[in-house]
C-alpha cells in the first residue's frame, strides 16, 4: 500500500515548493520510485521537478468528450479514457508525474476530479510513495480528491490571513471526516532568524494544527524560478532545504 503525502493551503503560500522539497528529501534517502500528482488546475509541479508532461487529464477529457468519430474497437467512453490516461504519465528517472490540468471553457472540474481519483487509486498501487500538490482553497477536500493521506501538510505564509485559511482547511477535514493520519502546519516565507511572535503565535495555535516547522524566505528559490531550474536541484546549503530537511526528519522520521 502506498504512503501518501499531501500538501494544501492558501494560494501563494508555497505549496508546490514544499512538494519539491518533500520529493527532494525522499530521493536523498533512496525512497523511490515516487508518483507525484499535480491536482491543481493551475499546474506547475512539472516545472519544479524538471519534467515534460505529454498530456493532462483535462486535455484527455476534452479530446474524448468532443471527439466526433466513434471510439475505437467499440470501447466505452470510460474504457477509452482509461486507455488514453496510460499515456499521460510524465516519466522521470525516479519520479513520475500525473497532472490533472483543467478542461477548456466554462464548467466545474468535478468530472476531472472524479477521473483523477479513480485513476490515482489504480496508479498508486505501483508506487510505494505518492506526493500530491493540491489546488488552493478547499474544493479538493469537498470533492474528496484528497483522502486516505498519511501526512497532510497545510501551508501558510507568515500572515494572519494565511493562518486563518489554514484553520479552515483543518476544520473542513474534521467536518468531512477525511481519512488523514497526521496533519501539520508549515509556515513558509518567514523572515530568516525571526521567530513567530505575538498575534502570529496566537493564530498558529488557533489553527488546531501541530506546527511542524517554519521555512524561511529563500532568495535562491526565487532565483531558480527565474532561471526555470527545477527546485528539486536546490543545493543542500540553501536555507529552505536546511529548514525543510530538519522539519521532515523530525515529523517523518519513519518514512
Residue 106: per-residue pLDDT: 52
Predicted model pTM = 0.88
Place of cell 478542461: 103
Per-residue confidence band for 243, with pLDDT thresholds at 50, 70 and 90: very high
Q: What is the DSSP letter of 102?
A: -
Nearest CA to 39 out of 55, 18, 56 is that of 56
When mean pLDDT is compared over 110-119, 132-141, 240-249, the highest value belongs to: 240-249
**The pLDDT of residue 142 is above 50:** no
Q: At what angle do helices 110-123 and 57-65 cross, to 10 degrees?
A: 120
- How many domains are contained in the chain? 1
Residue 161 sits in a domain whose CATH number is: 3.40.50.300
Nearest CA to 193 out of 217, 210, 211, 212 is that of 217
Return the sign of the alpha-carbon dihedral for residues 166, 171, 176, 180. positive
**The pLDDT of residue 236 is above 50:** yes
The 10s digit of each residue's pLDDT in 71-102 is 777 777 777 777 888 778 899 999 999 988 76
Q: What is the DSSP letter of 87?
A: T
Contact 9, 156 (CB under 8 A): yes
How many angstroms separate the first and last alpha carbons of the chain?
14
Percent of the chain with pLDDT over 70: 87
- The residue range of the domain holding 87 is 3-251
Q: What is the rounded average pLDDT of the residues 52-63? A: 83
**The pLDDT of residue 171 is above 60:** yes
Q: For strand 90-91 and strand 95-99, is the pairing parallel, antiparallel, or unpaired? A: antiparallel
Q: What is the DSSP letter of 135?
A: P
- CA separation for the pair 217, 201 (Å, rounded): 18
Residue 246: per-residue pLDDT: 96
Q: Which three cell numbers stand for residue 101?
A: 490540468
20-24, 133-137, 160-164, 231-235: least confidently modelled range: 133-137
**The pLDDT of residue 107 is above 80:** no
Residue 108: per-residue pLDDT: 54
Close Cβ partners of 127 (under 8 Å, ≥ 6 residues apart) = 2, 33, 34, 35, 96
- CA separation for the pair 226, 235 (Å, rounded): 16
C-alpha angle with apex 198: 160 to 249, nearest 5 degrees?
75
Contact 35, 123 (CB under 8 A): yes
66-70, 135-139, 182-186, 243-247: least confidently modelled range: 135-139
Residue 174: per-residue pLDDT: 85
Strand order in the sheet with 149-157: 90-91, 95-99, 34-39, 129-134, 3-9, 149-157, 180-190, 210-216
The 10s digit of each residue's pLDDT in 190-222 is 887 777 878 899 999 999 999 999 999 999 999
Average pLDDT, the chain: 85
Residue 210: per-residue pLDDT: 96
Amino acid at each position: 500500500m502506498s504512503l501518501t503525502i499531501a500538501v494544501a493551503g492558501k494560494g501563494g503560500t508555497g505549496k508546490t515548493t514544499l512538494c519539491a522539497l518533500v520529493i527532494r528529501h525522499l530521493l536523498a534517502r533512496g525512497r523511490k520510485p515516487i508518483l507525484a500528482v499535480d491536482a491543481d488546475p493551475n499546474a506547475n509541479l512539472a516545472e519544479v521537478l524538471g519534467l515534460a508532461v505529454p498530456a493532462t487529464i483535462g486535455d484527455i477529457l476534452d479530446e474524448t468528450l468532443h471527439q466526433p468519430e466513434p471510439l475505437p474497437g467499440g470501447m466505452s467512453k470510460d474504457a477509452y479514457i482509461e486507455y488514453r490516461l496510460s499515456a499521460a504519465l510524465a516519466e522521470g528517472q525516479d519520479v513520475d508525474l500525473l497532472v490533472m490540468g483543467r478542461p477548456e471553457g466554462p464548467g466545474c472540474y468535478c468530472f476531472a476530479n472524479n477521473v483523477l481519483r479513480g485513476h490515482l487509486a489504480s496508479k498508486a498501487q505501483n508506487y510505494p510513495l505518492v506526493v500530491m500538490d493540491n489546488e488552493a482553497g478547499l474544493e479538493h477536500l469537498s470533492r474528496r480528491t484528497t483522502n486516505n493521506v498519511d501526512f497532510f501538510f497545510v501551508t501558510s505564509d507568515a500572515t494572519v490571513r494565511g493562518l486563518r485559511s489554514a484553520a479552515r482547511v483543518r476544520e473542513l477535514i474534521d467536518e468531512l471526516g477525511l481519512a488523514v493520519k497526521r496533519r501539520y502546519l508549515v509556515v513558509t516565507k518567514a523572515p530568516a532568524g525571526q521567530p513567530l511572535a505575538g498575534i502570529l503565535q496566537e493564530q498558529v495555535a488557533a489553527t488546531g494544527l501541530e506546527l511542524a516547522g517554519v521555512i524561511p524566505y529563500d532568495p535562491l528559490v526565487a532565483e531558480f524560478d527565474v532561471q526555470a531550474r527545477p527546485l528539486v536541484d536546490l543545493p543542500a546549503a540553501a536555507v529552505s532545504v536546511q529548514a525543510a530537511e530538519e522539519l521532515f526528519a523530525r515529523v517523518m522520521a519513519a518514512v
